Amino acid sequence: MVLLPLAASALALTACSSDDGDSSAADTTSCAPTPQNVSGAPSWTVDGVQGKAAFTVTDDAKNAAPAITLTTPFKVDKTQVKTLIAGNGSEVTDATTVSVCYEGVNGTTGQVFDSAYQRGEPAQFPASGVVPGFRQALVGQKVGSTVVVVIPSADGYPDGNPGASINKGDTIVFGLKILEAQG
C-alpha cells in the first residue's frame, strides 16, 4: 500500500468525477492497465546501487499505466522522481486530496504489491497521508501529470510492510498519473 498504516483506509475510497475538482484529464474515473505490447525506448532509466529500473510511457490518453521494467534486485539510496508527462491542471500541495492511478512494485522481487491500474479505478487520498517518497512524487506536480518514482526503504517502509510483501530494506517503485486535486 502507498499510505502510512494508519491512513490505509483512505485507499478504500474511490474517485468520482466532481464539479468541485480541477482536472486536465478527460477521464478521471478509470485507470487502464499497462498495454500488453509496449514498444519504444524507455522514457527514463535509473541505475540503482543494485539493478536497474526503466519506465516507458504507454497510452497516457487512456490513463494507462507506464510500463515498469526492473532488473532485480533493484535498490536505490535516495528518492528520485521524474515527470514523464507534465500536466497543466492545478498544483498538488500537502493540503490537497488527490485522485491517482498508480502501480507500486517491490524493487527486490519485481512483484506488483498494489495497483489502482489493475483495479481499474483511481484511489483518492490526502497528499500528506502517504509515505515520504510517494509524497515527493505528488507535491509540486500538476493535475494531468504522469510521474515515476524510485523510493529507498528510508522514504518508503523502513520497517517493511508485511501485508504488502515489502521487507525491511526493500526499495519500492511507482508509476502514477494524477487525475484530480481538491482542496
In a domain, 35, yes or no: no
Amino acid 64: pLDDT = 77
Mean pLDDT for the chain overall = 85
Confidence tier at 126 by pLDDT (50, 70, 90)? very high
The residues that bridge with 75 in the sheet, in sequence order, are 50
Residue 99: which domain range?
21-30+41-182
Convert the pLDDT of each residue in 136-163 to its tens digit: 999 999 999 999 999 999 999 999 999 9
Grid cell of 13 as nine digits: 475510497
User: Are 100 and 28 within 8 A, CB to CB?
Assistant: no
Let me know if residue 61 belongs to a domain.
yes
Higher pLDDT among residues 89 and 61, named by residue:
89
Name which of 66, 80, 64, 73 is nearest 134 in CA terms: 80
pLDDT at 61: 74
pTM over 0.95: no
Decide if 162 is inside a domain.
yes
User: What pLDDT shows up at residue 12?
Assistant: 30
In a domain, 151, yes or no: yes
- Tell me whether residue 110 is in a domain: yes
Note whether residue 143 is domain-resident. Answer: yes
Q: What is the CATH number of the domain that holds 172?
A: 3.10.50.40
- Give the number of domains in the chain: 1
Residue type, 101: C
Q: How far apart are CA 160 and CA 30, in angstroms?
A: 30
Least confident of 11-25, 147-161, 164-178: 11-25
CA–CA separation, 103 and 6 (whole Å)? 20
